[in-house]
Structure 1
Amino acid sequence: MNVPYARLSTFLIISILISCTTSLQTRRSPVAVAESTFSGGDFDEHIRKSEPCSPEEEMAGFTLHPDFKIELFASEPLIGKPLNMAFDAKGRLWVTQSAEYPAPAKVGQGKDRVTILEDTDNDGKADRFMPVLDTLNIPIGLLPVQDGFLTFSIPNLTRYTDTDGDEKPDQSRRLLGPFEYKDTHGMVNHLTRGFDGWIQACHGFTNLSKVRGTDGDTLEMGSGNTFRFRLDGSRAELFTKGRVNPFGLVYDNWGYLYSPDSHSSPLTQLIRGAEYPHFGRIPEGIGFAPQMKLHEQEATALSGIALPSNKLYPEAYRKSLFIGDVVKCRIYRNSFTFNGSSPVATHEGDLLRSTDPWFRPVDMLEGPDGALYVADFYNRIIGHYEVPLDNLGRDRQRGRIWRITYRGKTDPLARTDWTKAGIDELIKALAVGNLPLRMLVMDQLVNRVGRPAVEPLLAILKKSGAQPDQYVHCLWALHQLNRTGGPALPETVLLRAARHKNPLIRTHALRAMHEAPGAGTSALPMTTPIRNETRYALIKKALTDPSPHVQRVAVESLPDYPTLETVRTLLAYASRIPALDTHLDYTYKLALRTLLRNKPLGNAVAVAKWSEGDRAVLNLPMTGVNEAYAGQFLFQSAQTLTLPKDDQLKLLSHAAKHLPPAERNGLIEFVRAKYATDRSGQFVLFRAVQQATKGPKTGLMASVLGTNALVKDWAVTLANELVALPPGDWSYNLAEFLYLKDHPVLFSGPPQNTNLAKNLRFMGFEQGGYKGVIRSAVFAAPQSLSFTAVQVNGATNIGGGHLVRLVSATDTANVLACTEFVKTNDYRAESVAWDLTNVSGQPVRFEIVDNSSGIVRVGDFRGLASPLLPATSPKDVAEQKRFGLELAGEFGITALEPVLRQTLLDKTQPYYFRLASARALMKLAPETYAATLGEYIEDAKNPETFRKDLATILGDSPGRGSTMQQIQAVMESALKRTKGDVQLELLKSLAASSFGKDLIMAQVYAGTLYTRILVQPGIEDRLLLNMGEKQKEKHKQLTANLSPIDPEREALITSRLTSFTTTPGLPETGKEIFLAHCSACHQIAKEGGLIGPQLDGIGSWGTQSLATKILDPNRNISEAFRVYTIKLKAGDVKTGLFRRDDEQTITYADATGTEFVVSRSDLAEVQASRHTLMPDHFGTVLPEKEFNDLLGYLLSVK
């Protein structure tokens, strides 16, 4: 039975008693596997071992879809290494090229260039090459404009003007800048002219930039953002937030903008104002914007995007997006269809593959002739951080541009020099050219012809039967001309267009209204009357338009009219949004949030009367409003509406952060009454109050410690309840000892690739390679029992599969029912049904047996009188108890000291409880318990990680005078009696204090510690922070003769690579090692954390680069994962990875991925580290065999 992978595979299983049956197996449809000539081997190396091919040899190695033809358009030595391309109105191809990339030249010394390529004889090959500028510094984004061009060159976006027509710029003006360029991955790329005359651009990876237009408004951007700016540099605006490293933009006929990205999603239809996933980013209330396509076989290095629009292509190709993969050396085709206004992409295989691993398709676009042009950054190395920037293997001279046509056909219109065309010829071309050509022609009408074009353009809009594309571009040309010398687009004409019978025209007309100056009153007080009642009425009516595209633009436009009536209009529309139209639904929520962020309107909404249904709709967007009125509204909703618990907790958590201080006590009283018997709810909300104040020692918490009896009483009561929590009726046993930092059994939702209800809960081990048994409480066997299991195996060719079974409570060896699951590498959900007639009424236990490095989780039980799964997951119960233990220390609850002491000393307690107790005790009575911690640290019988964690607690403990002297003495003693990573952790703690700096350097002088410890990652930063002058001099003397790269580390890398070559590791075993050591921070195939980079496609790094990164992670650091040493005014020193910030706080993540929040008011100093958060101890932690297995697994992840 063949069942598509994207659907839930469901089977009815009838098990035989006292035996274990195997469920029926589902099969995925066969997926074409790349031939060995296109993958593996050299394709997996970050530094290709093969030698370069000539352009002719490279072309001979292309495999192209049979409908297409490829030819060489240009190559070295006539061009360099191409980055971005753009066509001008003469049909010529402009190209930015860089020999500097990826390391920028010094200021003023750039030698990179822009060249114009022209095919004068129309044979498909460039035969004229005109150098334009050769003093640039990694130029990427490029756009030819009237009398010149725009380009980004470090660090500015500049307009160059040619005043004498010789194709050489003789004037230049900075439009925007300087942009940050600490990371040269993408920077400002793909300058793209929009219908509305704005220029769109991608911001690229990592950099944090602040730029402004001549209007003075500052635009702040982080990694992955997109923005738009006026051609004259008068204004720049953020278009989208989030994503990671977008490199490519393309419009479709509807005016939607598409873009690829390397980590968030391969393809995205950008929604203006939307927020997309990024490393560590938490969405603001309404969540992240929807995806267009899940990450599948693509590497995390996608560049360039093209959408054919010429009628030369069959419709199937005009509904396909092409993107380049510079790691896998191919171009993908993804078709897409619309669910309402929402695009859904489907991978249709490869348009082009290459046998040459140097092929690097960094950019792609459709030309005015209908051909696809591909920029090939032909190179042995494409990786940025995977290979040192100055590696001599990077090619600096070879580059190619390929031209792909559909069956060799091209559009003769492209041969026209549109800079010499008259108005009639230009307007006629708007009806017949492809989209790139129409954009060029429209630019000529607006920026060359200007006002004389107004009447001819209006004539097209006034006549009946105008071709839709021509009509749309005439409309937009007039819209743009409105800004150049007075009104050009009469209101009556625009309104008529908005009522046109063609939905494409109606959609663009509404967009033009949204863009038109004075369209609404968003910049005016809420009480200002609507300026254009006719437009307002028309936009509201468009919410009932038969076209979902028209409806979506209407929703997007309504925030231009910020009144209560607009809010009520949108609320009335909510029920008409189809469930599958995800982009319309997000646009709707975004529109409401925008309206609610208007302070006068938001305040009015907060005090207005609403039906329960309308208030329920307003709640979600209101959680994205960080104002007092939002807190008041949401608190009222939580008090008056009947809501699911999770929804109510979300509202109360946001209210806790933003209610005025005088009103917070009311929320606390409500919560304590409402959740009097619900410790879980109180836990969530108390922590929300704590997090809202940005740490236990700042803001509200600082004031309540001594003055707010209500909060103190809540903390005491809650802590007593939480520390007394029983372990629960469900238990677990692991197959082998693991040092656990938290409880491993949790609830999760269903996998994305199933059609199971999203509110279902499944219990099982957390992702991380756990193997063992999870066992339920005793219950009476029913007549029958049905449930659903979701599972995936880390390895399918070794060990047993996952299974679930029912055992007798009086004799667990007596298996009453059992189902073993077929091993699979893909997530699968299976329905299981057991006939238990013969054992009905007997006391039994349900067991989940996890036999592999994957997962198996169970839920959706049917046939029981009462729920089998607990109300709260075991992991959450344990987290609540741990919080209670730590709360005792935060609030000085001395009455709990005996409980804390007993927990710390009880070796049967989980280590995470013992650590929490140690942390609390060192706040309650550090002088009493410092020695106890020291004894545990020195005792080599304790797990090493436990000793390291205690060393951190000891070093972070407060103390003054004699107490501090006691702690220092304990640490000095432990330093002499420990070694390895435990000693390193002690050194990190010591390095933060003046005493510790002196002690460490004294030990180095005495020869007790190696000199290189002074530059050890995690130690050097703390040592240097706040050093005195004498200490600095000592440090300088001690480190003067250290080599930049540790020879021992280099020897280790060489040794491990030699071993791996001789004895390659087992990928199956390596996956388990990855899950145990790496998955907390790194994600593969949607599993794992996102503290560090996503590792899909990591196998292409190659053995040398991967081994170096694992064993010497600080040799090449991505700025996106730079570690910071943070010193607080109270004297505490922390280390973390920057996550996000706001006006009051900065959020960091520590080495375990746990986030911590620092108030800006508490900061004394922040220092960027030369080291990454990734531990650099894998050379000692992983024995040679385990390292080989891990390397083998990572190399297999393609």
Structure 2
Amino acid sequence: MRAPIHKLSVSLIVVLVAGCTTYWKQKKAIPTKTTEPQSYSGNAFDEHIRSTEARSPEDERLGFTLPPGFEISLFASEPQIGKPINLAFDARGRLWVTQSVEYPFPAQPGSGHDRLTILEDRDHDGKADVFTPVSDTLNIPIGILPVQDGAVAFSIPNVYKLTDANGDGKTETSRRLLGPFGFKDTHGMVNHLRRGFDGWIHACHGFTNLSKIAGTDGDSITLGSGNTFRFRDDGSRVEQTTMGRVNPFGLTFDDWGYLYSSDCHSSPLYQLIQGAEYPYFGRLPEGIGFAPIMKPHEREATALSGLALSSGTTFPEPYRNSLYMGDVVKCRIYRSTYTFKGSSPVGKMEDDFLRSADPWFRPADVIQGPDGALYIADFYNRIIGHYEVPLDNPGRDHLRGRIWRITYKGQLDKTGQQNWTKASLNELLEGLAAENLSVRMTVGDQLIHRIGKPAIEPVENLLNRRKTTETQYVQGLWVLHQLGALRDETLLKALQHPQALVRTHALRIVREMKTPGKTFYGPSLAGLNDASPHVQRAAVEALATFRDLETVKKLVAFQQTIPAFDTHLAYTTRLCLRNLLREKSLGTQAAAAPWSPSDRVALTESLIGVNTEYASQFLLNTLKSATLPKDTELKMLRQTALYLPPGQRDGLVRFITQKYSGDPGSQYKLFTVIQQSIKQQGGVINESVKQWGTDLAQSLIMPPKPEWTYALEGDLYLKDIPVVIRIPPATTLLSPDIRLFGFDLGGFKGLVKSPVFVAPPSLVFSTVNYNVKTNADPENRVQLRLADETAQVIARQDLPKTNDYQAETISWDLKAHQGKRVYLELVDQSSGLIWVGNFKTNAVQVPAINPKEQGEQQRFAIETAGESGIKGLEPTIQNLLTSPSTPYFIKVASMRALLRLAPDRYTAQAVALLSTESTPLAYRKEIAGMLGEFPLAQTGKVLEEGLKKTTGDIQLELLKALATSPDGKDLIFKQVRSGILYTRILRQPGLEDRLLLNATPRQLSDYKQLTANLSPIDETREALIKDRLAHLDASATGGRQIFIQNCSPCHQINKEGGMIGPQLDGIGSWGSKALATKILDPNRNISEAFRTYTIKLKNGSVKTGLFRREEAASLVYANASGEEFFVPKKDVVETQASKFTLMPDHFGQTIPQEQFNQLLGYLLSVK
């Protein structure tokens, strides 16, 4: 929560002068957006529990809308099927469907009643007429893949091989291939099993769950939420293919062999890079960064399911090679196209492909059938939310389910309707030329798994035939490879094939060989110079299997030729180099080899991801000899600081302090990294680092006067400086090299003012504006004033209201005022934002130093003074604490530092601040909370007195402070018995956990006796929710500012905000009731991914936070402000999982009805 820096009267904001000179501007066109018919969106689609009633399949069908010429028909429905989750076709053209009545609760082992059914359309009328039950004893089955003698399927908790030896569709035997997988969260798990060109089965691993699995070879992998993996169909081996993302639920291949995937939370679409790492909650990128995305999040909700890539010609040209993806919250199917820039796909969101007028439509899977039609698994339901609605809500439907089939004017691929299990060898060879990729893959599997070795010679002959198509050639290569019969001369010929598609796949086969002979080194190397970027990218991956210094040198040289727009090729090259250099012998050799200056710098881009001593030493040596951009230097030094041996730390400190002797800001960034490194390694800060911190504290405690100034409207409690330097949002299409300046995140109203400068003949600059289209908010503006007593406005530009970031170039003719002293003003009067930058003159520029960083540095200096006992800074810190102009977050740091310097002298002053009503509540809560950080022997008496003088939230924070010690617990119980405290206070979130943590048997008995007769508080919360909704005015504006103050430290919307809690893009689809419940009663439904822990340390202190990750010698948590903190493992006495979320539960008291209306109005608009 933010709180006021200082109180400013609205009168402080200078009255705007209307007069202005003539100006000229260039403005980007604002794209027009069509209004969606209310029948496909609106309140009925925003409710987590749909208020409409279920429709019959026919009535639901009548409510669909598709582009002209497309037709939708019912393929199957209840009662023949249950609730479908995943779909897959077999070689006979039959559709396999996993269904669940158990969801969302898993059945007890051995007692599942979920089904796997084969659907068959024998009369080809577009509707299933034969239903063969494969199994009805499964447990929330999701992923399914038919194979030659049965199927591979996931059912809690394993992936099984279901064997059907006689082909009647019934399972004779079931054998575990992989598992057990985690299943504490049942709405993701193992899904979308897809056979790859490589013969492996590829799959997604669902949200939250943690799984450690191994093949029969004993080699194991650990999957934490997100992630994708592949495994052999006999369970002999499993490999992790990507790390990160949140809840991937969809996989599909294209002709090039690229694998695409949808994700429910990070970004909608990805072209996956094998071995890459992608964003995930709380995950920090490694040195080479996260892999690139394919398209940013736009209007999709965060509930994306299934992914199909249309292949063949059954759809008209504009709809071919499109990606189709379901949205189970917004009840529609999206379509995205993409174009290649180099080898990198750039996605473009097209008009929605399918919309439904039925709020129960839940497209859980989308696949293309062998006949060219799209098939949709409709998990038809009143409720789809896993966390938004209690799992046991009786409104969840367990009976209805539909499968829909979409065609274009009835056109079908007749080839795809063939029963390939009966096809002859020659028919299979011709089938490799099918237009539909899924058919070609099926035919290839038949050649491999049914025909086997007798197919080898015919396939080889096919590759030598002049009329063989490129797709036949590609499939033939993979058939031979999987059969272990691909001759070296055949592969060498393919590597020189005239078609880039063939050369690309040939190089992919080289990569799969793992240890290819030197025969293929030259052709793989030649691929780096290929005219096709796809071939180049496949060559990079192939070369990564040749683990020698020569390969490293060639890849380093190639890396410097990659165009900036080919992000996927650039990342793949960095990744492959990093993986090579992580092998100790090769990495050590490369680090010691002679390199040209340019090659040495290029090599650092991959070595920065190698977490070893030899890599850190190489980075440091490069820094000593090369001239690099400052950001690059700092990134390299951060990595060096983390992994350089402790014995070399003093030399690193000397290097940093000498190199940045006049730049304490850069030193500060590196100092914090070294601190982090020491904590991660479980070490102790030595004298040279301590002295460095002391010197920095003295340099940074009083930052220079800012060049640009700001004045806020209103009484806001801030936890940092509200103005910031930023790069442009990606949607503005401005260069990422441009720096913009203005209020942070757009939640603030007021003025931002430039320094005075001499007016040039003209002033040209860029603005980025975000101002929601409402009548309540006035337009933002940017204007130029004379710096004299008149303060006349001589140029002004009003900025339009827009629901998205809008970039403009503004040009003012100032010849009439050239040479006069002027200053620029940003007038932010909305709940949006305005940023300026990209000035085409040296007369004025954005600040050289980010003011927000200066605030962080000052806070660091104060905290360091307290931690290191720098008595000489005590008077300065006292002045900061008492000065009216000091921001409150600096006051909080000052109070904590003074308590550390002299707790006996300053505890009374801290407690006195708690009863000072003129200070903001949030500030006083911060002060109260920090008192728990100090031994009760020093603060106990004063705290006990403070309890008598405080109430509400302040009193609760003091109680939390007392509850960290045995004596404090006893004092609390005593005051409850005496009636000074209400009994229900013992059940307050945050206090209850601390009372019970490390409590003695006697204290536990006291707690049980005191709370035995307390009634549940749910009724009180429910009454509050109903009252707020009864008085809700969702049209209220200004909610973005409320969101910034209360929510953005942990939650992100449109890539802005923290990543501690869930991202909230598309949150408007929740509806008002679900949002109100989550805000006012956040502990009602808690995702395990966001459960908090209470940690008792050896020094007696207690911390509370959300677990983020584990380092070598420390655990990393995040506090309620979204800030990470490290806890050394050796200092932990006890860790206790909380039944409360990190999200504050006091918003019912701290956000009054008017602000609540504004907040909900804003959140409901985020769709």
Contact 1:785–1:864 (8 Å) recurs in 2: no
* Pairwise CA distance, 1:21: 7.1
- Distance (whole Å) between structure 1 residues aligned to residue 61 and residue 93 of structure 2: 25
Where 1:174 maps in the other structure, the secondary structure is: strand
Where structure 2 has 5 or more consecutive residues not aligned to the other structure, the ranges are 1-16
Q: Select the residue among 996, 1005, 1008 that pairs with 2:980.
A: 1008
Contact 1:140–1:190 (8 Å) recurs in 2: yes
Contact 1:796–1:824 (8 Å) recurs in 2: no
Q: TM-score, normalised by structure 2?
A: 0.96
CA 1:757–1:308: 2 relative to 1, 3 Å: closer
* Pairwise CA distance, 1:1087: 2.8
Q: Select the residue among 627, 631, 634 that pairs with 1:642.
A: 627
Residue in 2 aligned with 1:336? 338
Contact 2:537–2:572 (8 Å) recurs in 1: yes
- Distance (whole Å) between structure 1 residues aligned to residue 349 and residue 514 of structure 2: 41
* Structure 1 position 145 matched with structure 2 position 147: yes
Please list, as runs of the form range in 1=range in 2, the aligned pairs for 1:1058-1097 lying within 5 A after superposition.
1058-1060=1030-1032, 1064-1097=1033-1066
Q: Give the number of aligned pairs.
A: 1151
Where 2:529 maps in the other structure, the secondary structure is: coil
Residue in 2 aligned with 1:929? 906
Contact 2:28–2:808 (8 Å) recurs in 1: no
- Distance (whole Å) between structure 1 residues aligned to residue 1157 and residue 19 of structure 2: 43
- Distance (whole Å) between structure 2 residues aligned to residue 225 and residue 126 of structure 1: 34
Q: Which amino acid aligns with 2:914?
A: I
Please list, as runs of the form range in 1=range in 2, the aligned pairs for 1:733-882 lying within 5 A after superposition.
733-811=711-789, 813-864=791-842, 868-882=845-859
* Pairwise CA distance, 1:975: 2.1
Residue in 2 aligned with 1:893? 870
* Pairwise CA distance, 1:812: 6.2
Residue in 2 aligned with 1:51? 53
* Pairwise CA distance, 1:1067: 4.0
Residue in 1 aligned with 2:879? 902
Residue in 1 aligned with 2:647? 662
Residue in 2 aligned with 1:1189? 1158
Residue in 1 aligned with 2:617? 632
Residue in 1 aligned with 2:488? 491
* Pairwise CA distance, 1:20: 9.1
Q: Which amino acid aligns with 2:1055?
A: K
Where 1:951 maps in the other structure, the secondary structure is: helix
* Structure 1 position 1031 matched with structure 2 position 1003: yes
Residue in 1 aligned with 2:81? 79
853-862 vs 24-33, which moves further = 24-33
* Pairwise CA distance, 1:25: 6.0
Please list, as runs of the form range in 1=range in 2, the aligned pairs for 1:163-242 lying within 5 A after superposition.
163-242=165-244
* Pairwise CA distance, 1:1102: 1.8
Residue in 1 aligned with 2:104? 102
- Distance (whole Å) between structure 1 residues aligned to residue 563 and residue 884 of structure 2: 56
- Distance (whole Å) between structure 1 residues aligned to residue 815 and residue 794 of structure 2: 11
- Distance (whole Å) between structure 2 residues aligned to residue 811 and residue 17 of structure 1: 15
Q: Which has the higher contact order (CA 8 A, sep 6+)?
A: 2
* Structure 1 position 690 matched with structure 2 position 690: no
Q: TM-score, normalised by structure 1?
A: 0.93
Q: Select the residue among 1086, 1092, 1105 that pairs with 1:1136.
A: 1105
Where 2:351 maps in the other structure, the secondary structure is: strand
Q: Select the residue among 1073, 1088, 1109 that pairs with 1:1119.
A: 1088
Where 1:617 maps in the other structure, the secondary structure is: helix
Q: Select the residue among 918, 922, 931 that pairs with 1:941.
A: 918
Q: Select the residue among 514, 519, 533 that pairs with 2:518.
A: 533
Where 1:585 maps in the other structure, the secondary structure is: helix
Q: Select the residue among 113, 126, 129 that pairs with 1:127.
A: 129
* Pairwise CA distance, 1:140: 0.4
Q: Deviations over 1:891-942 (max 9, x none)?
A: 2222222222232233332212211112222222222211111111232322
- Distance (whole Å) between structure 2 residues aligned to residue 768 and residue 311 of structure 1: 47
* Pairwise CA distance, 1:455: 1.8
Please list, as runs of the form range in 1=range in 2, the aligned pairs for 1:317-716 lying within 5 A after superposition.
317-432=319-434, 434-482=436-484, 488-519=485-516, 532-694=517-679, 699-700=682-683, 702-704=684-686, 708=687, 710-716=688-694
* Pairwise CA distance, 1:514: 0.7
* Structure 1 position 1020 matched with structure 2 position 997: no
Q: Select the residue among 279, 283, 293 that pairs with 1:291.
A: 293
Q: Deviations over 1:151-182 (max 9, x none)?
A: 11111111122345443223222111111111
Contact 1:205–1:223 (8 Å) recurs in 2: yes
- Distance (whole Å) between structure 2 residues aligned to residue 877 and residue 951 of structure 1: 26
Q: Which amino acid aligns with 1:380?
A: R
* Pairwise CA distance, 1:18: 4.4
Q: Select the residue among 1175, 1182, 1185 that pairs with 2:1144.
A: 1175
Q: Deviations over 1:933-980 (max 9, x none)?
A: 1111232322111111111211112x3xxxx32312222222222122
Q: Deviations over 1:393-428 (max 9, x none)?
A: 011100000111122122233343322333222222
969-978 vs 73-82, which moves further = 969-978
Contact 2:76–2:128 (8 Å) recurs in 1: yes
Where 1:1004 maps in the other structure, the secondary structure is: helix
- Distance (whole Å) between structure 2 residues aligned to residue 623 and residue 1043 of structure 1: 57
Where structure 1 has 5 or more consecutive residues not aligned to the other structure, the ranges are 1-14, 483-487, 520-531
* Pairwise CA distance, 1:1047: 1.7
CA 1:871–1:517: 2 relative to 1, 3 Å: closer
Contact 1:73–1:125 (8 Å) recurs in 2: yes
CA 1:864–1:444: 2 relative to 1, 3 Å: closer
Contact 1:808–1:844 (8 Å) recurs in 2: yes
- Distance (whole Å) between structure 2 residues aligned to residue 938 and residue 21 of structure 1: 54
47-56 vs 877-886, which moves further = 877-886
- Distance (whole Å) between structure 1 residues aligned to residue 700 and residue 1160 of structure 2: 43
CA 1:431–1:1056: 2 relative to 1, 3 Å: same
Contact 2:304–2:325 (8 Å) recurs in 1: yes
- Distance (whole Å) between structure 1 residues aligned to residue 426 and residue 978 of structure 2: 89
Contact 1:81–1:99 (8 Å) recurs in 2: yes
Where 1:133 maps in the other structure, the secondary structure is: strand
Residue in 1 aligned with 2:10? none
Q: Select the residue among 1041, 1057, 1079 that pairs with 1:1110.
A: 1079
Q: Which amino acid aligns with 1:64?
A: L
- Distance (whole Å) between structure 2 residues aligned to residue 129 and residue 294 of structure 1: 41
Q: Which amino acid aligns with 1:604?
A: Q
Contact 2:698–2:861 (8 Å) recurs in 1: yes
Q: Deviations over 1:541-562 (max 9, x none)?
A: 0111111111110011211112
Where 2:174 maps in the other structure, the secondary structure is: strand
Where 1:101 maps in the other structure, the secondary structure is: coil
Where 1:832 maps in the other structure, the secondary structure is: strand
Residue in 2 aligned with 1:11? none
Q: Which amino acid aligns with 2:54?
A: P
Where 2:433 maps in the other structure, the secondary structure is: coil
CA 1:417–1:870: 2 relative to 1, 3 Å: closer
- Distance (whole Å) between structure 2 residues aligned to residue 507 and residue 1037 of structure 1: 72
- Distance (whole Å) between structure 1 residues aligned to residue 1128 and residue 591 of structure 2: 29
- Distance (whole Å) between structure 2 residues aligned to residue 434 and residue 932 of structure 1: 76
* Pairwise CA distance, 1:228: 0.8
